[in-house]
Amino acid sequence: MIASLVNGIPGNQASILDRGLQFGDGLFETLAIVEGQPCLWDSHVARLAASCARLGIPMPDTGVLKNEARELIGGQQQAVLKIILTRGCSERGYASADAGATRILSLFSWDGPAHTPLRVAVLSRRLGLNPSLAGLKHLNRLEQVMARRELPADAGEGVMLDIEGRLAEGIAANIFLQQADRLLTPRLDECGVAGVVRQLIMDTGQDMDMPVEETRLYLQDLLNADALYFSSSLLGIRRVYAIIGQDWQPGLETHPVMEAARRRVLAP
């Protein structure tokens, strides 16, 4: 970690009574810093605000967040900024004292965006179903931790299915399938994180009159796809060149929506 601010004050400690630690009662955002600027800042802040509203966590002033981000980034040209927002501190028990939110901004070194295709593994750990929290980038991430533990060393990301066997997402990324001219992505109404880059891809599809279809997808759809893409704020939009243990090979050129969206991601 390069530096961090806790409620605006330089430091790397939080109260053990913080509800983020006690219950995972909070949200986070992970932003790429490229050429000294946070990428997709407005989208990240908009998602954070919408998620705060859904959980009843007070959203900090966006000007304050922006100033703290600028202070932390300083002269760093390339880095990762993580914003954690929790429901603040309270005494023991699930009831909250509504003491406001805790803001934790931290900056990490980063090799910067890569554009090489990914080798991925289909993981055995299945995501649970949780409609009331689905889509949110909340701090309850034990499923992802356990999934990451089984990712082979030679895989760049993992494919996660849900407990019904439906395609869900990567460990820290969303998944898109290309079938001929169509782009498909799993619905996130029962599990998964609604990624900022995922939304950008969908918006790009709308703009280009080639809408991405949100639908139920299965492992067989993955293996039948002409091309696969993983998206996240740090990965950007990456094609897959191999699925470990599967006789799958990508065909086709990169979809024009993905080409167009790629130019809008990881750009300062």
62-73 helix and 41-55 helix, angle to the nearest 10 degrees: 130
Active site residue 137: yes
* From 29, 30, 68, 157, active-site residue: 30
119 belongs to the binding site for a second copy (CB under 8 A): no
Binds a second copy by CB under 8 A, chosen from 7, 96, 199, 254? 96
141 belongs to the binding site for a second copy (CB under 8 A): yes
SS in 3 state form for 34-54? Answer: ECCEECCHHHHHHHHHHHHHH
84 belongs to the binding site for a second copy (CB under 8 A): yes
159 backbone dihedrals φ, ψ, rounded to 5°: -100, 125
**Residue with Cβ nearer a second copy (4 or 204):** 4
Q: Which of these, 19, 4, 21, lies nearest to 101 by C-alpha position?
A: 19
Q: Is 13 exposed, middle or buried (0-12, 13-18, 19+ CB in 10 A)?
A: exposed
126 belongs to the binding site for a second copy (CB under 8 A): yes
224 backbone dihedrals φ, ψ, rounded to 5°: -90, -5
Residue type, 198: R
Site string for a second copy, 38-77 (x = CB under 8 A): -----------------xx---------------------
Distance from first CA to last CA of the chain, Å, rounded?
Answer: 22
Binds a second copy by CB under 8 A, chosen from 145, 152, 253, 259? 145
Q: Which of these, 132, 133, 135, 121, lies nearest to 187 by C-alpha position?
A: 135
Q: How far is the CB of 134 from a second copy (least distance, A)?
A: 8
Specify which residues 89 forms β-bridges with.
18
25 belongs to the binding site for a second copy (CB under 8 A): yes
Active site residue 204: no
CB 172 within 8 A of CB 136: no
93 belongs to the binding site for a second copy (CB under 8 A): yes
Residues touching a second copy, count (CB under 8 A)? 58
* From 62, 71, 82, 137, active-site residue: 137
Structure tokens at 57: 């966590």
Active site residue 35: no
Q: Which of these, 230, 236, 238, lies nearest to 173 by C-alpha position?
A: 230
Q: How far is the CB of 33 from a second copy (least distance, A)?
A: 13
Give the residue numbers annotated as catalytic, written as ranges: 30, 137, 169
Residues near a second copy (CB under 8 A) are: 1, 4, 6, 12-25, 30, 55-56, 80, 82, 84, 86-87, 91-96, 104, 106, 108, 125-126, 128-133, 138-149, 163, 171-172, 191
